[in-house]
Amino acid sequence: MLHQDWMQLALIQAQMAYEQGEVPIGAIVVHQGQVIAAAHNEREMNNDPTAHAEILAIQRAAKVLGSWRLTDASLYVTLEPCPMCAGAIMQSRIKRLIYGAMDLKGGATGSVINVLDRTLWNHRVDIIAGVMEDECSDILKKFFRRLR
């Protein structure tokens, strides 16, 4: 499958978040050509500030693999990760991060800061940005317009 195909699955998760009144961010973890975990934001539902799509997807993937090391996995997420999520990506040893829209207010993989800077750590995360950027950005804009 192509990056766009996987990102479409993350967008389905974002749509689920949208329908539940959560900020519409979705994430999936792909391992050996299969989705092993999927999640969307659940902060409002769980009253949990750490219930970001990326964190939940990483937790679920670790359970599926029976290991905290996700060294051969790719994480697809509709919005550039925040510092907390970027830290979790590093700690879980995810191989590749693919995201859609940049987060110019809180992005931590290049927009505002780069927690995954290759010169800082022993683990290297390959980053691909801008996959289906318009679609990923549009659902967020639609959500926040609805709030106003």
Q: Which residues are identified as catalytic?
A: 54
Between CA 135 and CA 138 the distance in angstroms is: 5
Distances (CA, A) of 19 to 40, 60, 78, 100, 146: 11, 22, 16, 20, 12
**What residue has token string 């009144």?**
21
Between CA 120 and CA 105 the distance in angstroms is: 22
Between CA 25 and CA 135 the distance in angstroms is: 12
Check the CA dihedral 63-68-74-80 and report its sign: positive
DSSP element (H, E) containing 9: helix 3-19
